[in-house]
Chains A and B, each alone.
Chain A
């Protein structure tokens, strides 16, 4: 015998346990030729199974799949960890049994919508035996980590024999039980020793139970054992040294020869060893899976007709539904357009029918219709917007004919994988939609999608630091400075990143820091834990739960253990229902417009060429507008000056790493503004590229160029576009392109130039359909901001969709003249309500006020006075005090009108008086039990409102607001530093646009964004945006400036920056930064010299 098949292998998808990715394991086995089969047995699930099967198929190995699972006794305590392997070639019986076992093992953890972490994953032995009692399907292996394995180490032989006897009693179906013999050559007499292995073998022989040899593999090579140590620490949540670590480094994927000599060492004689190896191969053979027959590999599974509520041929139903959409969406179309619509729809439907995807489209349309019926805003994104069918079915809101989008980019007969249709919905309603989908199609056809998050930079560093027992603050300090480099190259970054220089010095001296760098590099990219995918729902037929194992999610709904990359191989239909906060914010604004003004608005039917809206955008005051509010997009908006919807599509597509790296922005802007003549290379390309002044931006451009110049057809063109990204097949495309274009009479110069454009295009491009789908909410939000700023801001405050902190939106509201009204327990709710004078602050902003308290306040409103509030809401002492501190009770002060804002002087009763009263109330030991018992309370102390206490100063108010609500409502926090800033001649952000290029300036403010986007040069550039109440300024730090102040850049909130202005366009000004300082530190120094200014000092 020459080979050996590993039957117990944990991959890196065994979270915090395995070290090696399944593909790497399979490659190693295929390369060594030690077997033509390999198992994956991840801990607690089938997490890596699909990737393993895929890798095996590619490499010509037979995949074997199992699980490493805890087994409980009747009392629920762990009695063993067993390897359970699915039998193959039985039409999926073994595979579905394995899925069921794993799902059962997880089911106990989920209850009432939450995951009970204290409940371990595992299955009761009785239950497992019962699942296998009728027709088997899996083999359970009892090994060293079991009651039998432990008994054999310590007790008399009879005890171990009787324990094993009871396993045999329970698993009587032939082939369902085996003994797993493992030796990690540990200290004689301990677990995983050769001694234990041979005792176990003898015992199995005595009871005539089949034996197999495994190496209980955790990693590919011995060197990986160090990584395993660190993962063990992460799993135990304890530093190394505080728990029992793995005994040695033997759990690696040993070659056949090593396993054979291990067999001889365990058995003591060669013939028994041979038998052990033979029985191992016998079980391996039984467990070889036929992916197509056993797992329905690659076979699309969509809900059955009955589940969709359709009768007859699905394609006919789809044909009818799509055609009936024409009347609705092209009501006013002329004959020419109608002919175009009919022709295109016919083409699309032919393709869909050829691929057999009619049911798929009907499913997505059904979900989209269900979402609309729930009155939830939704919108398709991605290449799906290029399909007229999707538009007519109501899945997408963008007219592909009007926007010149291509179906072939989305779907073609050249490809047979299920297309992706992603639907954006209101984030606040996303879970409602999930539940409705489960209800509509049945929980046997639906599960949520999972996601494997992986170790990246800071996460890897934190867990490494924890493993080494470093102090939290020590770790935090280093982690804070990890920006924009992969943890894999941590050591390399030490020498080049100025903000790491202090740490680099520490590494030179401190051995532990050296280790920290090494193990952080080791952890990088390893799967970390499984969680709910942010938007994926899997829709299948009624066999879904026989195809995938599931576990409870935080939402209470079952979640598949497969991730998005596993969907296509498994033929599973994934629908992305993505929660978009902007959709919630816009839906809220529309609701408030209807409530306050009685005006019904259909946002999807507003004209898309409103000049006022584009005027708003062109000012670059785009805060709160979808997709174009980031500092970089603001700068680009200033240069670009969009005037129509298509401009937004182009701008969104341009502002991406690819086009930026490929230097596509400048030629486009030059052409647009007439600085340079557009270069179309050839007249045939003019109609294709005139919208972008000769610059190739969209996938659709590439498709059309290939089609026009080679005559290959758009479907084939999209295949070629995809091939361009793959260096292996790109040369074929090149040959084809050159042959065809030459034959069609293009000159060599033209061919070469076009080809070089296409070649460099590679991954730069963007799907125009995607850009157009994104541009729609961009336009809609800009329109709302232009015409209904108050309601729109209320939506932004309530749903917080953007990249900036809410306090920056407060500043934007001030700039727009929209008043933010102070907190008032009689008027505030859990949302930002629009009132005649402005927007009322929500109760939810006060930190530490519970959901229940908020609900009670809303239910009990209005209140007569503080005592009334105290009695009916029964707030915690902290809540009562905090509400008073931020002015929530100011309106009980009497003459004061809370609508006039907090800065107004109240006539008699101050907030100080109110606070004094709140403290009296909080001092009452026994809260009155209920309203009925009021008379029993001595209310004397409540009768008189204390008077004569001071009103807090503005500085105190702002400081309280910042600490209790994380925002400055009364006035901008920068106002506190105003005297110093004025003396220093600091410029306001709003004044920058009036300054000449290269003016030296000082600018101050609160940091609202820090970005380190990828740059063409590969050098790192840091962008910092400051808000100073007048607007946002954007500063750019290049290498030299970073070296001067990198310690400040990433750590401080209030900054002072010096630099020179740089004009970037008509309305675009940014600052080339030279240096930066901590504003508070400057303030301290400044005010030391001027004691009288201290009274305004910030908290």
Chain B
């Protein structure tokens, strides 16, 4: 398992599931149905405010776990498992932010 923390560009399908992503100039295709889950953040380390009504986003993050390989490779090539964090940003230009955090080779 490798820990990284890099921004990736993700394309999603109609219901919001990632189907492909661009990482370090390579295109990856998601090969099986990705799994969504929710992880937490240690807000007491980095949050500036946690007032009533601030929202669960301070505490919770959406995670996607997917099996993918480089798009050019055939379906039978060696695949890896990727964990990508999905957050919703403030600016309209960059609404969805995706960060790759873990790779299980």
Contact = CB atoms under 8 A, between A and B. Distances in A.
Nearest to A195: B35
Nearest to B44: A240
A778 B39 CA distance: 63
Contacts of B55: 222-223
Contact of B52 (A194, A247, A467, A522): A522
Given A193-B37, A240-B44, A249 B49 contact: no
Interface in B26-73: 35-40, 42-45, 47-56, 58-60, 63, 65
Contacts of B59: 225-226, 229, 248-249
A612 interface: no
Contact of A223 (B38, B44, B48, B54): B54
Contact of A225 (B47, B56, B63): B56
Given A187-B63, A223-B55, A223-B56, A515 B37 contact: no
Interface in A244-259: 245-250
B42 A514 contact: no
Contact of A226 (B45, B50, B63, B65): B50
B65 A188 contact: yes
Contacts of B63: 187
Nearest to A512: B44
B37 A241 contact: no
A1063 interface: no
A511 B58 CA distance: 15
Given A223-B56, A226-B50, A522-B52, A188 B44 contact: no
Contacts of B53: 223
A172 to B, nearest CB: 37
Interface string A481-500: 00000000001000000000
Which residue, of B38, B44, B54, B56, has the highest number of chain A Cβ atoms within 10 A?
A: B44
Which residue, of B35, B39, B40, B50, has the highest number of chain A Cβ atoms within 10 A?
A: B50
Interface string A315-357: 0000000000000000000000000000000000000000000
6 contacts: A222-B60, A246-B40, A247-B40, A248-B39, A250-B38, A522-B50
* Chain B, interface SS category: mixed
Nearest to B36: A185
A904 to B, nearest CB: 62
Given A187-B39, A229-B43, A248-B39, 10 more contacts: A185-B36, A188-B65, A223-B54, A229-B59, A240-B42, A248-B59, A248-B60, A250-B38, A518-B49, A518-B54
A491 B4 CA distance: 39
A108 to B, nearest CB: 35
Given A187-B63, A522-B52, A249 B47 contact: no
A519 interface: yes
Contacts of B48: 511, 514-515
A87 interface: no
Interface residues of B, number: 25
Interface in A239-288: 240-241, 245-250
A1062 interface: no
Given A514-B48, A515-B47, A222 B56 contact: yes
B40 A248 contact: yes
Q: Which 3 A-B pairs have the closest CB atoms?
A: A222-B56, A248-B38, A249-B56
B38 A518 contact: no
A241 B50 contact: no
A491 B37 CA distance: 35
Contact of B38 (A226, A249, A467, A521): A249
B42 A241 contact: yes
A1057 interface: no
A910 B53 CA distance: 70
Contacts of B43: 226, 229
B36 A223 contact: no
Contacts of A193: 37
Which residue, of A193, A223, A241, A468, has the highest number of chain B Cβ atoms within 10 A?
A: A223
Contacts of B52: 223, 518, 521-522
A245 B54 contact: no
Contacts of B47: 515
Contacts of A184: 38
B104 to A, nearest CB: 12
B45 A186 contact: no
A515 B50 contact: yes
Contacts of B51: 491, 518, 521-522
A241 B49 contact: no
Which residue, of A222, A249, A468, A514, has the highest number of chain B Cβ atoms within 10 A?
A: A249
Contact of B58 (A185, A194, A226, A245): A226
A249 B54 CA distance: 13
Contacts of A249: 38, 40, 56, 59-60
Contacts of A468: 44
A383 B26 CA distance: 82
Contacts of B39: 186-187, 247-248
Contacts of A188: 35, 37, 65
Nearest to A469: B44
A801 to B, nearest CB: 42
A184 B38 CA distance: 8
A118 to B, nearest CB: 29
B67 to A, nearest CB: 12
B33 to A, nearest CB: 11
Nearest to B56: A222
Contacts of B37: 185-188, 193-194
A1096 B37 CA distance: 72
Nearest to A245: B40
Contacts of A222: 55-56, 60
A7 B53 CA distance: 26
Nearest to B46: A511
Contacts of A187: 37, 39, 63
Which residue, of B38, B47, B49, B65, has the highest number of chain A Cβ atoms within 10 A?
A: B38
A248 B85 CA distance: 14
